[in-house]
Structure 1
Amino acid sequence: MKKKRILSFLLATVMASGLLAGCSSDEGKKGSGKEEGGKKDSIVIATMGETPSLSPTEHNAVAGSYMNLLTYNTLFKTSMTLEPVPDLVDSYENVDESTWHFKIKEGVKFHNGDTMTIDDVVASLQWAQGFAEVSLYNKNFVSISKVDDQTLEIKTDGPDAMVLSNLSHHGNAIVPKKLIDEGHDFNADPIGTGPYKLVKWNRGDSLEFEAFEDYFEGAPSIKNMTWKIIPEGSSRTIALEAGEIDFIIEVEAMDADRLKGNDDLTVIDYNATNLTWLMLNNETPGLDNQDVRHAINTAIDKESVVTVAYNGMATPALSQMPMNFEGATEENADTYDAEKAKEWLEKSGVDPASIKFSIICSDDTKKRAGEVIQANLKEIGINCEIESMDLATYLSATAEGNYTAAIGGYSSDSLLGYVVGVYHSSSINASNKTRLNNPEVDALIDKAKVTVDAAERKPIMEELSALLNEICSQAPIYQPISMRAFDARLQGVEITDGGTIFWQNVSWGE
């Protein structure tokens, strides 16, 4: 009964907030944004968090990747089916198990008017290897060299299943060699080959872009683009309904039904590869105990978290891997059981009263999830606090290990990329935020990386998945059904399960 009272209270609070947020008018929505005498040629996009950097090499954040997709290109890109396909490459060949040749496209222009050459490509990939934030995606390249004026050679230390997917990562974006040599600040002035050019970054408020007329795939239809930073989900919803913005990147789950009922809007939902967890710093006393982590994981009623935080529009998670990837398994995974959680605590030998931590939350959805978790853990004698933090500070604190617990997630276009980023010890101080350092885990990931055949790699990943569930470095919470909402007149909007939108293909209808 106590569980039901807690859930009822939290639901009542969320519903009351939703009702207050919903007291707005959508008058003026129809026909808004029309240009005199023709189609609209601008768009305003609302996003929850501001990018930590506009440079492709100085971050590994989703908010930053949205911006990088506008201004840069990579040799490969991720397709709608999450496969790496050529972008700045015309053709390629795996010459032998450790050698790759890539023929680049001719006539591609940079924003500064220069034509891309093979020297730019070589310099860009070598330059990117010097940045810790993205080294995970290029340190497997043991040599990068020019074969001829159109051909790049990359050598790896033996077979490597991640070459093409790594070349799709924003950290390996191609930029002008002469700007690298001059020490150009790509954060202040992101010069690339992408479909849009930066006009102005109004810190904390918005970013403005204009179409690149010499874009190698053709100039985008939408000429002017503004990204507004709106942290509060309900505020994003109201702005869309009022016609102040045209597109929401992160839809507030509590407003989804309302938006879907509006004929002037389109809502797309998709099964995201993002898995959200309660991250636990495995170097913190108490949380360094595997049995304590199992106790915390087992104590969390994930069905209730999904109901309160996501309005039911997410899948409760058990596995340490996203289950929409082949190779993930729920073997050894914990299920909700408060009594079992107490048994785990007793087995650990740790006094629950000594386990005190704060849960960092960087948005309203995470805060609602944190409040359910806080109530669940109190039931087994663990007290924790909720700490709100802006996205940029959260990313820095968790990457550096300056935290005890936080609600976060990670998205990848491949399971191999996911486990390297989240669980390999080489990703500590970057995306391995639990700071897990387990030789057996590293060995299985390294084995998977050199197993190029996907069918042969699957059992390795299943073994790894079961091991990670046993170690329980963090508590999986849910996989969201991600949503995008936008003006129904927009055409050509396609979204991969990794959340990628190719804005150069988007246009306004009449």
Structure 2
Amino acid sequence: MKKYISLFLAALMLLSLLAGCGKKSDGGDGTRTLVLRNTAGLSTNDPHATTNTHDYTVFENIYEGLYDLNEATGGYDLRLAEKVEANDDATEYTVTLKQGVKFHNGETMTADDVVFSYAHAQKDAHMGSYCRPLDHVEKVDDYTVKIVMNQPFSPIGHMLHKVKIMSKKGVEELGNDFGKVPNKVGTGPYMWDENNYNPLSSWSAVAFEDYYRGKAKIEKITWNVIADDTSAITALQNGELDYMVVPISYWEDIKASNKFNCVEKESNEVMLFCINVESKTHGELLRNDNIRLAMMYALDRDGINKLVCDGYGTPTYMYINPNYAAAAPAADSLKNPIPYNLQKAKELLAQEGYPDGIDIGEFNVAAGRNENFGVAVQAQLEAAGIKSTLVVSDYNVAGDRNVAQEYDICIAYDCGNYDFNNFEQQSSSAAIGLTNVLFNGPSGKFNDLSAKFDEWLKEGSSTADEAKRLEIYTEMYNAYYDTHTQVPLINLPSCVAYSKDLNAIAVPTDYRVYDWSWNS
């Protein structure tokens, strides 16, 4: 749909941004700079203070954890840890650290930095789903720490990956400026470029000379913020970007151009439709079970997939792709999926006293891809007599409104989930400021269920028995879906195009430029 927008207009939008950032740009010493797209500006450079995917993809090249998620092959690799040993009941983990690891400020990593970094992560609500069962981390000696949990925690690997180890000295020296200005607290193969750091528009990272695994082959990376998909496609086709996750509606054109290496993979990215039962303007209406049920019947997932995704997506009722994450319920375990039935939607509205339809307020969406889904869903709801006003804003603004419950209905998305425990971010009573739908809100609509969610989450994460975990999470997800408040629509594939001059490893989310190189 959007691919038919004038490329001339797109070029005008790109002109000022991409001037001087051409395909053959260099890092000041004749070496070629890798140019990447970011869909939004950085919300922070503190790796523990965000859940935004567009932040994480950058951070994975600059910061490291004790473990590293290997998205290309699956599973986790040891990274800053040399060895990890658990006690008999899996409540204590003794971690032997790699020696000789340097931070970007030149300091050598020790156990003190690990203890500090875990304490730092525990203080931030964004890290709750990873760190909630963590009691503390203690120093054993300079290169050994003990991680003490308050319960067995089956997704421990993801915690060891998500908590990034930072220089205690570097963070403390920056004080309140940490997260706002370039820092040298990471251990990763790239470090922030202080000469180009404009977090709302463009920033760079340069290869770290003293990286313990050897200096990266690509000397410099520059990320340019291009929120509009049409503008990003124009940049890719003009050689102004070297690697890009391509919106599905452009995929056939990009493949047909024969200008790029093209890789299509399954992913765990899912588009979501959310209904805010705590809305200050339309909450009473949206708390009506039959009104929400009518909206469920109005959703034609196949139609959305054809219109927005050219049929490349997979219509789904599941929040997390079971092929991609441990202990995630399978599609056939959902007991009451609501199929598309426009007549049933209209009958439910009439039953509730709205034979001529209703207005449910503002439909909050982010510009770009989310907007396309919003337009499609809005039209389907309106066909059933459910009217709304589309409100389109910048990605960060729209996202902030979602998690603050400052909307009536909205489009959201999620990805990067490699264990069903990550669903805590959308269901735990402690996930304030993270969840799109509040289940323990002031109306009390779902307060009893919210307490049950907390119980299920604790049970599921505290057993290593995968069959038991799946049983618990299946019961939980059925109860969650039946609220008809945050429902999956489409599971998107990962469609990646990159320059034929580049040796890259294409993955759905967390690319690692350290493993890439130029062909010449």
Q: 1:425 to 1:348 in 2, by over 3 A?
A: farther
Shift of 1:158: 2.0
Aligned to 2:190: 196
Task: Spell out the pairing of 1:344-493 with structure 2 (5 A cutoff).
Answer: 344-346=348-350, 353-430=357-434, 432-437=435-440, 438-493=450-505
Residues 225-276 of structure 1 deviation map (CA, whole Å, 9 limit, x = unaligned) = 100111111111111111122122x313222111112233112222111111
Counterpart residue identity of residue 471, structure 2: P
Counterpart residue identity of residue 364, structure 2: I
Counterpart residue identity of residue 17, structure 1: I
Q: Is the 8 A contact 2:34 2:242 kept in 1?
A: yes
SS in 2 for 1:93: strand
Shift of 1:95: 1.1
Aligned to 2:302: 303
Q: Is the 8 A contact 1:78 1:413 kept in 2?
A: no
> Structure 2 residue aligned with 1:53, among 17, 37, 44?
44
Q: Is the 8 A contact 1:273 1:413 kept in 2?
A: yes
Consecutive unaligned residues in structure 1, runs of 5 or more = 1-12, 25-30
Aligned to 1:3: none
Aligned to 2:268: 273
Counterpart residue identity of residue 206, structure 2: E
Counterparts of 2:409 and 2:262 in 1: how far apart (Å)?
33
Aligned to 2:59: 68
Counterparts of 1:344 and 1:206 in 2: how far apart (Å)?
49
Corresponding residue pairs, total:
485
Counterpart residue identity of residue 340, structure 1: K
Aligned to 1:258: 253
Q: Is the 8 A contact 1:40 1:508 kept in 2?
A: no
Counterparts of 1:311 and 1:47 in 2: how far apart (Å)?
23
Counterparts of 1:425 and 1:367 in 2: how far apart (Å)?
29
Aligned to 2:82: 90
Aligned to 1:4: none
Determine whether 1:501 maps to 2:511: yes
Aligned to 2:444: none
Aligned to 2:212: 216
Shift of 1:428: 2.8
Counterpart residue identity of residue 179, structure 1: G
Q: Is the 8 A contact 2:313 2:490 kept in 1?
A: yes
Instruction: Calculate the aligned-residue CA RMSD, in Å.
Output: 2.6
Shift of 1:410: 1.2
Identity score, percent: 24
Q: 1:298 to 1:33 in 2, by over 3 A?
A: same
Counterpart residue identity of residue 293, structure 1: R
Aligned to 1:176: 167
Q: Is the 8 A contact 1:290 1:473 kept in 2?
A: no
Counterpart residue identity of residue 337, structure 2: A
Determine whether 1:294 maps to 2:293: yes
SS in 1 for 2:61: helix
Shift of 1:18: 7.3
Aligned to 1:5: none
User: Structure 1-normalised TM-score?
Assistant: 0.89
Aligned to 2:153: 160
Q: 1:201 to 1:351 in 2, by over 3 A?
A: farther
Q: 1:485 to 1:492 in 2, by over 3 A?
A: closer
> Structure 2 residue aligned with 1:79, among 49, 61, 70?
70
Q: 1:348 to 1:136 in 2, by over 3 A?
A: farther
Q: 1:35 to 1:69 in 2, by over 3 A?
A: closer
Q: Is the 8 A contact 1:328 1:465 kept in 2?
A: no
More displaced, 457-466 or 318-327? Answer: 318-327
> Structure 1 residue aligned with 2:116, among 113, 123, 143?
123
Shift of 1:362: 1.3
Q: Is the 8 A contact 2:31 2:219 kept in 1?
A: no
SS in 2 for 1:160: coil
Shift of 1:32: 5.6
Shift of 1:350: 7.0
Aligned to 1:27: none
Shift of 1:415: 3.5
More displaced, 359-368 or 54-63? Answer: 359-368
